[in-house]
Structure 1
Amino acid sequence: MTEPAGLRERKKQRTREAISNAAIRLFLEHGFDQVSIAQVADVAEVSRRTLFAYFPTKESLVVHRFVDHETESARVVRERPGDRTPLEALRDHFFDGLERRDPITGLNDAPESLALYRMIFATQALLARMLEFNQTAEEALAGALADTAGVGPGEARVAAAAIVAVLWALARENHRAIASGRSADEVFPQARADADKAFRLLDGGFGRLGAR
């Protein structure tokens, strides 16, 4: 009997998570460069072929943890309330992420999250993949700005590049502060203040985009 589509998708998601979890455990224990795809497949109890069906590259085993955020800024802009500009919506969303200690903001002191960030910043291949991640985020955000903010493609691309760069810089700074030994709660006030200043600077150039 054929499985319902929903059940198949849930099984695929569980398999994806199991493979990624096994990979990250190995990477954190032994180092990203020291672990082979064959070792990951063995620990996850899948074939190499199955592993590559879910994760086309070794780097994607790690970046998978952030994949839901890759087009998040674009979604926030497209779904913003009618009384908010794109920048206001993005600022509100980032501040909410800080409050929730969302790992994508860098303000998370859970041991695995901290170790994951440390590994990414210490591994050239992973850092390069995160820059590709940011490029995809930038392209998606530029599209959302062009579609909803009444600006041309060129201005949308410039605005998106600036916004994504600022979000990445804030996340890295938050991670550095926590990696130095401070808790997320201790870092939060400064992280909030830094984000407020950063968005004020962005507001000077792009604050009126999409204003009603």
Structure 2
Amino acid sequence: MSSETLSLREAQRELTRNRILDAALDLISEEPLDAITLANVAARAAVTERTLYRYFATRDELVEALWPRINDRAAHGRTFPETPEAMIRQPSEIFPGFDQEEGLTRFVFTRQGQELRLSVNDKRQAAFLQAVAKARPDLGESDRRELAAICQLLDSSFAWVSLKDYWGIEGNQSGPLASETIQLLLAQFRRKGAGDTS
């Protein structure tokens, strides 16, 4: 078998895998995750269920493979901010996209979405801690951790959904509000750690 034949097979395999993932992504955008079955995904992708099972043996495997695509589509490829500037800017940039991809954004509140978010939690925490340490080297470790936690909350789909659902504030308004609040917190946070008595 020639290498050209092999690469054609690999290309076809990748194309089929992408069709399945795109179909699942479209379905998640349209209906609740628990209503989506592998049979629905196969039908939307125009492949047999048997073909789908060659790529994803379980629904959980399929959902896990979707996470990078969900992030790319709903958050425009968002990465964790490692500088204060990126942390401040990010909500303004991504919250409007959450509105455009509301179904996908709300996916993070499902069991699978929560598991996927937690699977990268160490990286997320490290990035926010790094950004806060650059902005506020004067703070103790405990205070930096608390400030990073609040900044991460403001820079998340949790803040977006709370402002949208409870206050009717759309992403093009809530993003700048979150960005401005992060900027104010970084500048004015004055809390002393529990062990600091001065």
* TM-score band, normalised by shorter chain: 0.5 to 0.7
Say what the alpha-carbon RMSD is for the aligned residues.
4.7
SS at 1:72 equivalent: coil
C-alpha contact 1:120 1:127 (8 A) present in aligned 2: yes
Q: How far apart in 1 are the matches of 2:8 and 2:169? A: 40
2:64 alignment partner in structure 1: 60
SS at 2:61 equivalent: coil
| Residues 15 and 42 of structure 1: CA distance in aligned 2, closer, same or farther (over 3 Å) | same
C-alpha contact 1:87 1:203 (8 A) present in aligned 2: no
Kindly state the Cα deviation for residue 94 of structure 1 after the two structures are TM-superposed: 3.7
* One-letter amino acid of the structure 1 residue matched with residue 3 of structure 2: T
User: Residue by residue, what CA displacement relative to the aligned partner does 1:109-161 show, whole Å, maximum 9, x if unpaired?
Assistant: x3xx122234543x3x1342353156144245168669989x7xx94982654
* One-letter amino acid of the structure 2 residue matched with residue 19 of structure 1: I
SS at 2:56 equivalent: helix
2:79 alignment partner in structure 1: 72
C-alpha contact 1:141 1:160 (8 A) present in aligned 2: no
Residue 174 of structure 1 pairs with residue 183 of structure 2: no
Q: How does 1:25-40 map to 2 (within 5 A)?
A: 25-28=26-29, 31-40=32-41
2:55 alignment partner in structure 1: 50
2:18 alignment partner in structure 1: 17
Residue segments in structure 1 that go unaligned for 5+ positions in a row? 78-85, 207-212
Length-normalised TM-score, structure 1 = 0.56
Larger Rg: 2
C-alpha contact 1:41 1:47 (8 A) present in aligned 2: yes
| Residues 34 and 61 of structure 1: CA distance in aligned 2, closer, same or farther (over 3 Å) | farther
Length-normalised TM-score, structure 2 = 0.59
Count of residues in correspondence between the two structures:
178
User: Residue by residue, what CA displacement relative to the aligned partner does 1:54-76 show, whole Å, maximum 9, x if unpaired?
Assistant: x8624325433344568712xx5
| Residues 87 and 7 of structure 1: CA distance in aligned 2, closer, same or farther (over 3 Å) | farther
1:128 alignment partner in structure 2: 114
